[in-house]
Structure 1
Amino acid sequence: MRRPILRSALALSIAALTIGGCGSPDRDYTIPPQPLPSGEKALSGKTATIGELDYTAIGLRTRLGEVIGSHGSWIPHGQYVRVRLLMVNHGRERHDFDPGRQLLVTADGRTYGPNTDATQISRAASGTQTIASQELCALDLWFDIPKNATVRALRVFGDASSSKLGDQLKGANVAGARNPVDIPLK
């Protein structure tokens, strides 16, 4: 009499675990929606990959006439542009990201580096940032471009190095890694 009860209990336990999702983990996070900062446009999330990191421009604000921080404000020579960038490290090692190397590309093909004044006043990330294994990180990049310029893309310079031991011993990058890559900002 006990065996059928034990078999039934075991079968029910296995069914409950299977239905509950154990043994088949979700493949994507469900991240709660975040409110957009005032005047920012959410981007469609075009992703570029360099090495083991994915880079996605998720927000854009153009035509900013001033940056205001807790300790001061500053007016641009033209217009400030703020790009919110999400990075995800799929590798087993830490990777470095230097916000100061990134470039904003305008419709005429000209490029502009980050603006130090706006970065400091807004207290945005500066200096080399380390992105841990399996970590996601979002930050803002600030640029000062001509008043009538139209934004086309963010040119991302990333870390193309590989976490594979064989690649690390050779000093090799991830096979086929392009660096830099342009992410359209439309």
Structure 2
Amino acid sequence: MRRALIAGLSLLTAATAACSGGDDPPRYDTPARTARPSETPLPYRETRLGELAYTVMAVRTGIKEVIGSHGSIPAEGQYVRVRLLIDNRGRDRHQFVPSRQTLVTADGRAHRPDHDAMSVSRAVTGAQTLAREERRELDLWFEIPAAATVRALRITGDTTSSALGDQVSGAPADTARTVDIPL
């Protein structure tokens, strides 16, 4: 009996040591993904707003037409597609509303997502709820003047905290409800 107990403890110790991986937390082994045609992948730069982390993965400018499975729509200027990664780092659900986001051009103008382009491309619309520790990728479509250049994606989001200490103390949400991500 004693020999079996020692063998079991040795096995458990070895398994625990193998799983710990030292100081680095374990990571998912996900394969690299190929960028879509004519898309410019951007370096990974994470921007936080409240408990949500945002990363612009890629941008494509100069799109002349959005083509979907049920129709197409030509641009009066140009369409811009921004691929966005959102990661909820909090314990509670958080809202992300695609229609509140804006694309800022070099002249300082802010452009809302184009409803028609979002519909034709079957992009997400309406408030999106991100669950605890959920990660989601989505496209935002904008129409801007043909000669305009993009400067930043302005994120407007949920800045509430799910930290128990903040909830117990009634700490106010962060007052900065927007953040610009340079493109």
Question: TM-score, with normalisation over the residues of structure 1?
Answer: 0.87
Single out whichever of 34-43 and 75-84 deviates more from structure 2.
34-43
Whole-angstrom distance in 1 between the partners of 2:117 and 2:171: 36
Q: Which runs of 5+ in 1 are unaligned?
A: none
The one-letter code sitting in structure 2 at the alignment partner of 1:145 is I
Whole-angstrom distance in 2 between the partners of 1:106 and 1:19: 52
Structure 1: which 4+ aligned runs deviate by more than 6 Å? Answer: none
After TM superposition, give the deviation of residue 45 of structure 1 in Å: 1.9
Single out whichever of 33-42 and 63-72 deviates more from structure 2.
33-42
Instruction: Give the structure with the larger strand fraction.
Output: 2
After TM superposition, give the deviation of residue 50 of structure 1 in Å: 0.8
Corresponding residue for residue 172 of structure 2? 172
Question: TM-score, with normalisation over the residues of structure 2?
Answer: 0.88
Query: Is the 8 Å Cα contact of residues 96 and 131 (structure 1) preserved in structure 2?
Result: yes
Residues 1:31 and 2:33 aligned together? no
Paired residues for 1:20-169 under 5 Å: 20-22=18-20, 26-165=25-164, 167-168=166-167
Whole-angstrom distance in 1 between the partners of 2:155 and 2:103: 9
Query: Is the 8 Å Cα contact of residues 20 and 26 (structure 2) preserved in structure 1?
Result: no
- What is the aligned residue count? 181
The one-letter code sitting in structure 1 at the alignment partner of 2:71 is G
Please list the CA deviations of residues 74-94 of structure 1 after superposition, one character each: whole Å capped at 9, or x if unmatched: 011110000011001011110
Whole-angstrom distance in 1 between the partners of 2:10 and 2:165: 46
After TM superposition, give the deviation of residue 166 of structure 1 in Å: 5.1
